[in-house]
């Protein structure tokens, strides 16, 4: 949680925006007097760094030009803890947790830089906050204070607190812990390279926090008891557990040679809960179910948000699918997720957020979990990005008016200089009262004024009549963020103000606009046909009692049938084998059943399923579901068109009686009779 002073700094000094004292006070639920105190504090910090102070003109706060430094660079350690008492208490609690054994009041004083009385008061406040909770702070005479209680939740609290205060880490972390963090980063890099994934910055910070506290607590003999919601056999088959064990030598250097199996399970679970970026493949536990659920979720959003084109957005589908796996495991374990943009998403994209919240039941019911508001906001952001992808920048001049109280001549000079220097349309020059009246019935991009001027929800740039270099920088800064975009839904919204359009009309008009403006690739301009299983699994795609040498041979034979049918290229076979090598455990979807596949761009030509039964079972490397005797190879051209067939197949194979009938069949026709349920 940022302090008010930091928020004020970001608005005025980083974004070069303006805000009234009254508005800022309302946003933060404080008095104007408190805001003026914050302003005084911030100006002192700016001046101490050789920067100019914030201007206050009749309660309107402005700054001359954006600064490059972050707020964390502006303040010293003592300043940080003075400005934000809540943060100070979080840091005190984290220092106590990190010690594992007792830490003295004088050590806390030295680390924080405040008085003994302040430390004592803060500890009392922390105790009050967590009364009756899962841990308690204990004081031992002549030794200090320590934290005892539910070890799993204590570690979680530390990780949450540390990630919130990450920008100020160097202000309170010890040299020893700083060196340990560098070692932890190396270990995380090794594990992520082994998994062939890249973790988001927030996920890396959370992993560092968990490893830092786990190492300290483990060395302090604070042993971990894993909860019942961590399924050890299931985790045992995860790629994260495999990667953690491959890198165990590095981990032993951090934890010690006696690192326990529970610690390895716990660390594997935290990697599994971590969000990845740029994932090369989206296979995971229950990947068939996840793909079907994500498709249903997106289709529901497509119905609620009109106009939209979510169902045809491949990037949206893959992004949500990649996000859903760690989100699911976070929900299962009760891991808190913090979305710093929650308020922004809820307030600025209210309709989209409400639609996401209304549709989330599809994922929650299908996965038997409940997602927090923060997680729903993350999912909303994927739809925000999808909408942004349907926009196009257009060459439209920003609309501007000039407000001046020094006479017509001055107004004309400012107006002429604006139009000669910048690609703007000056719609008129006004005095104070005329401008306010004119703005009641007109919309513009911003106002250029030669004196302090405000109007609700309108950006104002205050300049001198000479329009000097400082003024020009202000204008250039606001022009940089004034790029115009156009999207089909914006056009439809304008048309709807004049013409009544039904939901069907809007959908049709949206599609035609998308085609005309070039938003849709050719394949998206027609409704996609989603065939049923009996249409894509035919007799020529079935082989019984194949004698496979190993898993590669079994996959290659299933792939050969797809190539022979003409739905895949030869390279698709090798891509499937490589995918089995990387994701072998998840290819085996149930006891005795494997479903190899590759990505559409790796040689898919159409939709197809091939099915082979094996004379003798072979191992794919799954700890529970090996050996495999039934192999179904999947070939798909996108995320959507194969899902009807996939859902049919999943339902069919969920019945053990059907599986046994297929394995006993001697001819392809017998298998087809079962799969088509004739």
pLDDT in tens, 213-242: 999 889 888 877 765 556 666 777 788 888
Residues 90-96: what's their mean pLDDT? 86
pLDDT at residue 640 tops 80: no
pLDDT one-digit tens code per residue, 252-271: 999 988 899 889 999 999 99
Same domain, 563 and 654: yes
- Out of 75, 102, 125, a domain closes at 75
Q: For residue 345, is it within any domain?
A: yes
Same domain, 119 and 233: yes
Same domain, 567 and 473: no
Share of the chain above pLDDT 70, in %: 88
CA-CA distance, 461 to 360, in Å (whole number)? 42
Q: For residue 498, is it within any domain?
A: no
Q: What are phi and psi of 506, to 5 degrees?
A: -60, -40
pLDDT one-digit tens code per residue, 139-168: 888 888 888 888 888 888 888 888 877 767
Choose between 644 and 570: higher pLDDT: 570
Q: What is the CA radius of gyration of the chain?
A: 31
What does the pLDDT read at residue 76? 65
Cross-strand pairs, 139: 145
Q: For residue 472, is it within any domain?
A: yes
What does the pLDDT read at residue 561? 94
Q: What residues make up the domain containing 119?
A: 82-277
What does the pLDDT read at residue 523? 42
What does the pLDDT read at residue 524? 43
Same domain, 58 and 158: no
- Assign residue 570 the CATH number of its domain: 3.40.930.10
Q: Which residue has the tokens 């997106």?
A: 298
Q: What confidence category does residue 591 fall into, taking pLDDT thresholds of 50, 70 and 90?
A: confident
Q: What are phi and psi of 261, to 5 degrees?
A: -65, -35
DSSP 437-476: HHHTS---SEEEESS----TT--EEE--TT--HHHHHHHH
- Per-residue HEC secondary structure of 277-322 comes to ECCCCCCCCCHHHHHHHHHHHHHHHHHHCCCCCHHHCHHHHHHHHH
Same domain, 554 and 434: no
Q: For residue 516, is it within any domain?
A: no
What does the pLDDT read at residue 202? 81
Q: What are phi and psi of 377, to 5 degrees?
A: -65, -40
pLDDT one-digit tens code per residue, 412-467: 778 877 887 888 888 888 888 788 888 988 889 899 998 888 888 888 888 887 77
- Cα–Cα distances in Å, from 138 out to 104, 131, 147, 149, 568? 12, 12, 6, 10, 66
What does the pLDDT read at residue 525? 37
Cross-strand pairs, 618: 628
Same domain, 540 and 477: no
CA-CA distance, 592 to 631, in Å (whole number)? 9
Task: Tell how strand 276-277 and strand 392-393 pair up.
Answer: unpaired
CA-CA distance, 621 to 618, in Å (whole number)? 9
- Out of 414, 448, 483, a domain closes at 483
CA-CA distance, 24 to 10, in Å (whole number)? 12
**What does the block give as tokens for 553?**
């041979």
**Biggest CA-to-CA distance, the chain:** 97
Same domain, 360 and 221: no
Residues 83-97: what's their mean pLDDT? 81
Residues 587-615: what's their mean pLDDT? 89
Sign of CA dihedral 285, 287, 293, 297: positive
Q: Which residue has the tokens 């194969």?
A: 642
Top-ranked range on mean pLDDT: pick from 6-10, 391-395, 665-669, 674-678:
665-669
The model carries a pTM of 0.64
- Per-residue HEC secondary structure of 196-216 comes to CCEECHHHHHHHHHHHHHHHH
Judged by phi (left if over 0) then psi (alpha if -120 to 50, else beta), residue 518 lies in left
Number of domains forming the structure of the chain: 5
pLDDT one-digit tens code per residue, 41-59: 788 878 877 888 898 888 8
pLDDT at residue 499 tops 60: yes
Whether 28 is catalytic: no
Q: Which residue has the tokens 């204590």?
A: 154
Residue 649, preceding peptide bond in cis (omega within 30° of 0): no
Residue 633 CB contacts under 8 Å (≥ 6 apart), including other chains: 555, 558, 559, 561, 562, 576, 595, 596, 597, 609, 610, 611
DSSP helix/strand/coil, 140? strand
How many CA atoms within 13 Å lie on the side-chain side of 505? 8
Same domain, 609 and 460: no
pLDDT one-digit tens code per residue, 513-569: 766 665 554 444 345 567 888 888 999 999 999 999 999 999 999 999 999 999 999
H/E run at residue 392: strand 392-393
pLDDT at residue 584 tops 80: no
- Assign residue 8 the CATH number of its domain: 1.10.10
Same domain, 95 and 223: yes
How many CA atoms within 13 Å lie on the side-chain side of 381? 15
Q: Check: CB of residue 119 under 8 Å from CB of residue 105.
A: yes
How many C-beta atoms surround the C-beta of residue 670 within 10 A? 15
Q: For residue 515, is it within any domain?
A: no
What does the pLDDT read at residue 572? 93
The strand order across the sheet containing 60-62 reads: 19-20, 60-62, 55-57
Q: For residue 384, is it within any domain?
A: yes
Task: Tell how strand 608-618 and strand 628-635 pair up.
Answer: antiparallel
Q: From the candidates 323, 597, 639, 642, which is the catalytic residue?
A: 597
Q: For residue 665, is it within any domain?
A: yes
Cross-strand pairs, 147: 137
- Cα–Cα distances in Å, from 667 out to 257, 416, 648, 672? 57, 85, 21, 9
Q: Which residue has the tokens 């001359």?
A: 64
Share of the chain above pLDDT 90, in %: 22
CA-CA distance, 217 to 210, in Å (whole number)? 10
**What does the block give as tokens for 277?**
């970026």
- Out of 339, 368, 388, a domain closes at 388
Q: For residue 262, is it within any domain?
A: yes
Same domain, 271 and 340: no
pLDDT one-digit tens code per residue, 357-384: 999 999 999 999 999 999 999 899 888 8
Summary mean pLDDT of the chain: 82
Cross-strand pairs, 667: none
Q: Is residue 513 classed exposed, middle or buried when 0-12, 13-18 and 19+ CB atoms within 10 A define those classes?
A: buried
pLDDT one-digit tens code per residue, 461-498: 888 877 777 788 888 877 765 555 666 777 887 888 88
- Cα–Cα distances in Å, from 360 out to 366, 369, 561? 10, 11, 39
Helical pair 151-164 and 85-99, crossing angle rounded to 10 deg: 140
CA-CA distance, 655 to 677, in Å (whole number)? 13
Choose between 26 and 206: higher pLDDT: 206
Same domain, 115 and 258: yes
Helical pair 261-272 and 239-246, crossing angle rounded to 10 deg: 130
Same domain, 560 and 618: yes
């Amino acid at each position: 949680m940022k302090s008010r002073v930091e928020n004020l700094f970001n608005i005025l000094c980083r974004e070069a925006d303006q805000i009234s004292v009254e508005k800022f006070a309302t946003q933060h639920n404080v008095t104007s007097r408190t805001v003026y105190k914050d302003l005084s504090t911030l100006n002192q910090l700016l001046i101490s760094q050789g920067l100019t102070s914030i201007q206050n003109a009749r309660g309107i706060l402005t700054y001359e030009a954006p600064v490059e430094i972050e707020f964390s660079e502006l303040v010293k350690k003592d300043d940080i803890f003075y400005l934000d008492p809540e943060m100070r208490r979080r840091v005190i609690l984290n220092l106590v947790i990190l010690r594992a054994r007792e830490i003295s009041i004088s050590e806390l004083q030295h680390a924080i830089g405040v008085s003994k009385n302040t430390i004592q008061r803060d500890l009392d406040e922390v105790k009050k906050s967590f009364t009756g909770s899962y841990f308690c702070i204990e004081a031992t005479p002549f030794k200090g204070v320590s934290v005892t209680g539910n070890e799993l939740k204590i570690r979680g609290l530390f990780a949450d607190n540390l990630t919130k205060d990450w920008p100020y880490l160097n202000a309170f972390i010890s040299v020893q812990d700083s060196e340990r963090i560098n070692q932890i980063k190396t270990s995380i890099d090794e594990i992520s390279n082994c998994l062939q994934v890249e973790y988001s910055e927030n996920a890396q910070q959370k992993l560092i926090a968990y490893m830092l506290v786990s190492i300290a607590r483990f060395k302090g003999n604070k042993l971990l008891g894993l909860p019942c919601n961590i399924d050890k056999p299931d985790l045992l088959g995860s790629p994260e557990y495999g990667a953690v064990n491959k890198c165990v030598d590095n981990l032993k250097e951090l934890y010690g040679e006696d690192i326990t199996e529970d610690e390895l399970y716990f660390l594997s679970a935290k990697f599994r809960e971590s969000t990845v970026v740029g994932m090369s493949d989206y296979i995971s536990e229950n990947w068939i179910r996840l793909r079907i659920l994500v498709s249903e979720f997106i289709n529901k959003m497509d119905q609620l948000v009109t106009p939209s084109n979510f169902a045809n957005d491949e990037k949206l589908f893959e992004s949500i699918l990649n996000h859903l796996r760690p989100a699911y495991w976070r929900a299962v374990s009760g891991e808190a997720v913090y979305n710093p943009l929650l308020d922004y998403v809820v307030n600025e994209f209210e309709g989209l957020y409400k639609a996401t919240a209304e549709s989330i039941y599809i994922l929650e019911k299908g996965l038997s979990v409940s997602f927090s508001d923060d997680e729903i906001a993350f999912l909303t952001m994927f739809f925000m990005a999808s909408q942004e992808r349907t926009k196009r920048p257009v060459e439209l001049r920003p609309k501007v008016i000039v407000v001046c109280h020094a006479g017509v001549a001055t107004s004309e000079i400012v107006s002429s200089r604006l139009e000669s220097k910048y690609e703007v349309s000056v719609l008129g020059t006004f005095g104070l009262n005329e401008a306010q009246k004119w703005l009641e019935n007109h919309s513009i991009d911003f106002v250029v004024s030669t004196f302090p001027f405000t109007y609700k929800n309108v950006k104002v740039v205050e300049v001198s009549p000479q329009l000097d270099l400082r003024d020009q920088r202000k204008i250039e800064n606001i022009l940089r963020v004034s790029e115009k975009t156009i999207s089909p839904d914006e056009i439809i919204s304008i048309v709807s103000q004049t013409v009544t359009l039904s939901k069907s009309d809007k959908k049709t008009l949206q599609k035609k606009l998308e085609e005309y403006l070039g938003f849709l690739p050719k394949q998206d301009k027609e409704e996609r046909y989603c065939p049923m299983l009996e249409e894509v699994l035919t007799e020529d795609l079935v082989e019984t009692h194949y004698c496979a040498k190993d898993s590669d041979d079994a996959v290659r034979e299933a792939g050969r049938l797809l190539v022979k049918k003409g739905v895949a290229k030869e390279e698709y076979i090798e891509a499937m084998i490589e995918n089995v090598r990387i994701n072998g455990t998840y290819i085996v979807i149930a006891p005795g059943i494997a479903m190899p596949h590759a990505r559409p761009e790796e040689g898919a030509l159409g939709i197809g399923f091939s099915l082979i039964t094996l004379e003798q079972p072979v191992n794919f490397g799954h700890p529970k579901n090996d050996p495999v005797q039934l192999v179904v190879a999947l070939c798909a051209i996108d995320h959507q068109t194969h899902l009807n067939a996939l859902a049919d197949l999943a339902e069919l194979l969920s019945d053990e009686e059907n599986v046994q009938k297929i394995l006993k069949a001697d001819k392809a026709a017998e298998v087809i009779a079962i799969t088509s349920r004739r």
